[in-house]
């Protein structure tokens, strides 16, 4: 379905099966969706080489990056890239050094947190224990491109990331006791993943 | 794509506007004008009391391990308990990520984030990764004495709330930082000051002078320890095998035996043995002398003479034997046997001239001569010599390791 | 070959040592505790020869 930016008139063909938000790449205005502040549609440059349109291969299937949610914490950040993965949606969580692939969609988190902090183990299931490595309040949230629904658009949540040695990882979005959502996936080093159509920073020759 | 959002930050003190090189990644920075440290997303700020000059200038670029990095930030940190200080340079290249150069007493380590640190899974005193088994060197809390440039975290806040674990397996270092909000880990490696200077196109003299052995510095002399042990053990086994073979093949033949009595001297000063044959090319000869001594001694000079060539080997031998009873306890000292070991005597027909010195009580002796007797002393000398290098190596290593660990409260060295 | 770094000379010494040890054992040369022998003085030589040939 073709939609047009109400400000600049640029046309966009919706590609995701459940498009929730489209931000105009030209004038940073909402093409689809509502309720966000203008600042939240201004994506800052953070030297990320992944961009909207970047493609890659995960578990023998191609994906294409459609949009990004940037979560700024006091001492860290996460880029949550929304990717078209075959007929499905996949979220890709990117930090400076690691990258996580989250295939299952957002789901209510079944456990509660009691004095959660980095370093403690959280029991995800009877078999799976994950060590909590990040507990930070999201202090700023920004959007770009075409996105699937995100449960906390205003960013008022604590982000918790926990992982184990097998590479399982969970991103938990904790707003309050009754409102906790999570993404389940697999984490790996940034250097272990190959993306195509990425930004290159030519002024930083590496050889 | 799209028009870029320019990121700028205003100093909370002098309002000077800075455009950070790290763009949105920069979370804290110091004002280029007034030096105030401030965080981008919180109200935290700090004015440092002392200024430190970095050896690697902020914004300078240098190559480490073939990768071009830019110095984004510089921090001087102090361990809270023992108050030693070190300097950290925060490096960045968007194509490869962040890295750190850490300098203490002129010794440098190059560190990069390492998400596979075993402490991410569970606590262990000896984390083991593909680089080896690491030992805990330090556990500390640090404070930031000075910072300049920009950083991708609030270095003051995050440092002061974190517990740091440093494990080493020279030349590697594993750092782990734990706070209530984040875990972080880094894997580093010792890097020589010369490489830092070359990488940043600096004169080595402009870097802090190197003092002592860096705690991750590899030894100037090192060998493959398992190979050294293998060579030593195989050589000892070979020597043992050779000794066994040569023992088995030694003929150990008695070639002469005779009993002499003083009365047979008939006024002469010496006895002469009959001739005996020494076989083999060059072999040893052992002369065993026995006398029925009791609180007495026996001395003789011997001359082994080749009948054909008159080649002579002169030697002496003395032995004594004393015994008695003292306070009801019997005691004895010495032996009523003596022997002489002559090395490498050529084959041929020989006789011995014996010049005995008899005491007042003993008037006789018996002499036996053996050819090609097995002996062990060379084997023990060889073993000793073979062990010298490994012993010196391990001694040297122990000494250097002791020096390496002398600043650590987790040292296992005395 | 990199494993041999710093050990090549030790390996050479070890091989030389083993060879020298084997040679010494074969010719019956005890490096230590061998009885010291001395060549005779002219007087001793004369004395021994006279007695023996008497």
Q: What residues in B contact A144, CB-CB < 8 Å? A: 2
Max intra-chain CA distance, chain B: 128
Residue-range domain boundaries for chain C: 1-29
Taking an 8 Å cut-off on Cβ atoms, the answer to whether A45 and B1 are in contact is no
- The confidence score (pLDDT) of residue B71 equals 98
Q: What is the mean pLDDT of chain B?
A: 93
Range B180-193 average pLDDT: 94
pLDDT bracket for residue B95 (50, 70, 90): confident
Count of helices and strands (H, E) across chain A: 0, 16
Q: Are B and C touching by the rule of 3+ CB pairs within 8 Å?
A: yes
Instruction: Provide the strand spans (E) within B227-275.
Output: 253-261, 271-272
Taking an 8 Å cut-off on Cβ atoms, the answer to whether B224 and C34 are in contact is no
Mutate to test the interface with B, among A46, A74, A206 (most CBs of B within 10 A): A74
pLDDT digits (tens, 9 = 90+) for A118-173: 988 888 778 888 999 999 999 999 999 999 999 999 998 999 999 988 889 999 99
- The confidence score (pLDDT) of residue A123 equals 82
Taking an 8 Å cut-off on Cβ atoms, the answer to whether B97 and A190 are in contact is yes
Judged by a CB distance cut-off of 8 A, whether residue C23 touches chain B is no
Q: Are A and C touching by the rule of 3+ CB pairs within 8 Å?
A: no
- The confidence score (pLDDT) of residue C53 equals 47
| B89 within 8 A of B60, measured Cβ to Cβ | no
Q: What residues in B contact C51, CB-CB < 8 Å? A: 268, 270, 272, 353
Chains contacting B (3+ CB pairs below 8 angstroms): A, C
Q: CB within 8 A of B165, min separation 6: which ones?
A: B119, B136, B138, B139, B175, B176, B177, B178
Range B6-11 average pLDDT: 91
Measured at the CA of A23, the angle between CA A19 and CA A26, to 5 degrees, comes to 140
Residue-range domain boundaries for chain A: 2-193
Residue A200 has pLDDT above 50, yes or no: yes
Closest Cα in chain B, distance from residue C18 (Å): 7
| Nearest residue in C to B390, CA atom | C10
Helix pair angle (C8-26, B225-249), 10° resolution: 10
- The confidence score (pLDDT) of residue B380 equals 95
Tell me B252's DSSP state. Answer: -
pLDDT digits (tens, 9 = 90+) for B330-354: 999 999 999 999 999 999 999 999 9
Q: What residues in B contact A200, CB-CB < 8 Å? A: 95
A47, A163, A201 ranked by CB distance to B25: nearest = A47
Range B389-394 average pLDDT: 92
Judged by a CB distance cut-off of 8 A, whether residue C6 touches chain B is yes
Judged by a CB distance cut-off of 8 A, whether residue B115 touches chain A is yes
Q: Measure the CA–CA gap between A6 and B293, rounded to whole angstroms.
A: 127
Tell me B204's DSSP state. Answer: G
- The confidence score (pLDDT) of residue A166 equals 85
The full set of domains in chain B, from first to last, is 9-206 (no CATH), 233-250+378-414 (no CATH), 252-373 (2.60.120.380)
Closest Cα in chain A, distance from residue B95 (Å): 7
Range B129-141 average pLDDT: 94
Q: CB within 8 A of A86, min separation 6: which ones?
A: A61, A62, A63
- The confidence score (pLDDT) of residue B1 equals 46
pLDDT digits (tens, 9 = 90+) for A105-114: 999 988 777 7
Tell me B182's DSSP state. Answer: B
Residue B229: which H helix or E strand, with range?
helix B225-249
Q: What is the mean pLDDT of chain A?
A: 91
Q: Phi and psi of B112, rounded to 5°?
A: -135, 155
pLDDT bracket for residue B177 (50, 70, 90): very high
Q: What residues in B contact C18, CB-CB < 8 Å? A: 235, 238-239, 242, 382
Taking Cα atoms as reference points, which of A50, A62, A131 lies closest to residue A93? A50
Closest Cα in chain A, distance from residue B171 (Å): 23
How many C-beta atoms lie closer than 10 Å to residue B16's C-beta? 13
- The confidence score (pLDDT) of residue A192 equals 64
Taking an 8 Å cut-off on Cβ atoms, the answer to whether C35 and B312 are in contact is no
Q: Which structure tokens are listed for B157?
A: 């806040």
pLDDT bracket for residue C3 (50, 70, 90): confident
Closest Cα in chain C, distance from residue B332 (Å): 24
Range B57-72 average pLDDT: 96
Taking an 8 Å cut-off on Cβ atoms, the answer to whether C37 and B315 are in contact is yes
ipTM value for the complex: 0.93
Residue B4 has pLDDT above 90, yes or no: no
């Amino acid at each position: 379905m073709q939609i047009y930016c109400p400000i600049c008139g640029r046309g966009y063909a919706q590609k995701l099966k459940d498009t929730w938000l489209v931000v105009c790449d030209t004038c940073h205005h909402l093409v689809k969706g509502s309720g966000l502040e203008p600042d939240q549609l201004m994506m800052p440059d953070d030297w990320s080489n992944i961009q909207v349109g970047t493609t890659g291969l995960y578990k023998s299937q191609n994906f294409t990056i459609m949009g990004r949610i940037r979560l700024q914490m006091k001492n860290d950040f996460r880029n949550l890239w929304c990717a078209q993965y075959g007929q499905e949606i996949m979220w890709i969580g990117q930090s400076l050094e690691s990258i996580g692939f989250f295939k299952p969609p957002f789901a209510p988190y079944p456990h509660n947190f009691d004095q959660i902090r980095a370093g403690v183990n959280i029991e995800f299931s009877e078999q799976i224990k994950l060590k909590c490595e990040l507990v930070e309040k999201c202090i700023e949230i920004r959007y770009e491109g075409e996105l699937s629904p995100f449960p906390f658009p205003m960013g008022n949540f604590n982000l918790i990331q926990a992982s184990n040695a097998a590479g399982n990882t969970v991103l938990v979005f904790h707003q309050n006791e009754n409102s906790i959502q999570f993404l389940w996936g697999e984490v790996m080093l940034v250097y272990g993943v190959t993306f195509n159509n990425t930004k290159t920073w030519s002024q930083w020759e590496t050889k | 794509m799209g028009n870029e959002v320019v990121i700028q930050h205003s100093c909370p003190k002098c309002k000077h506007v800075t455009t950070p090189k790290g763009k949105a990644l920069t979370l804290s920075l110091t004002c280029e004008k007034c030096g105030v440290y401030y965080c981008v997303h919180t109200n935290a700020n700090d004015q440092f009391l002392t200024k430190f000059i970095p050896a690697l200038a902020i914004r300078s670029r240098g190559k480490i391990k073939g990768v071009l990095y830019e110095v984004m930030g510089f921090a001087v940190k102090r361990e809270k308990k023992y108050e030693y200080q070190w300097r950290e340079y925060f490096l960045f290249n968007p194509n490869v990520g962040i890295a750190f150069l850490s300098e203490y007493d002129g010794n440098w380590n190059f560190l990069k984030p390492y998400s596979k640190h075993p402490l991410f899974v569970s606590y262990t005193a000896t984390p083991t990764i593909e680089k080896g088994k690491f030992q805990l060197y330090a556990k500390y809390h640090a404070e930031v004495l000075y910072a300049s440039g920009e950083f991708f975290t609030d270095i003051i806040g995050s440092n002061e709330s974190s517990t740091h674990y440093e494990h080493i397996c020279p030349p590697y270092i594993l750092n782990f930082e734990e706070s209530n909000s984040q875990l972080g880990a880094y894997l580093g490696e010792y890097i020589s000051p010369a490489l830092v200077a070359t990488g940043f196109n600096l004169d080595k003299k402009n870097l802090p002078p190197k003092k002592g052995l860096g705690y991750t510095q590899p030894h100037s002399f090192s060998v493959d320890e398992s190979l050294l042990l293998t060579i030593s053990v195989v050589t000892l086994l070979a020597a043992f095998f050779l000794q066994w073979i040569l023992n088995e093949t030694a003929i150990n033949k008695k070639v002469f035996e005779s009993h002499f009595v003083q009365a047979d001297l008939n006024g002469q000063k010496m006895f002469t043995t009959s001739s005996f044959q020494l076989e083999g090319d060059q072999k040893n000869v052992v002369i065993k002398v026995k006398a029925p001594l009791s609180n007495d001694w026996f001395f003789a000079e011997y001359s082994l003479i080749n009948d054909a060539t008159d080649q002579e080997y002169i030697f002496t031998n003395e032995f004594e034997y004393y015994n008695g009873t003292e306070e009801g306890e019997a005691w004895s000292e010495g032996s009523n046997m003596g022997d002489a070991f002559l090395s490498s005597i050529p084959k041929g027909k020989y006789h011995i001239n014996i010049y005995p010195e008899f005491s007042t009580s003993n008037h006789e002796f018996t002499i036996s001569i053996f050819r090609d007797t097995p002996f062990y002393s060379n084997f023990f000398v060889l073993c000793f010599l073979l062990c010298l290098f490994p012993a010196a190596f391990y001694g040297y290593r122990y000494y250097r390791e002791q020096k390496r660990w002398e600043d650590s409260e987790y040292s296992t060295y005395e | 070959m990199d494993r041999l770094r710093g050990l090549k000379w030790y390996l050479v010494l070890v091989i030389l040592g083993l060879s020298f040890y084997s040679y010494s054992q074969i010719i019956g040369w005890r490096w230590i505790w061998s009885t010291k022998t001395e060549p005779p003085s002219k007087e001793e030589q004369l004395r021994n020869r006279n007695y023996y040939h008497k």
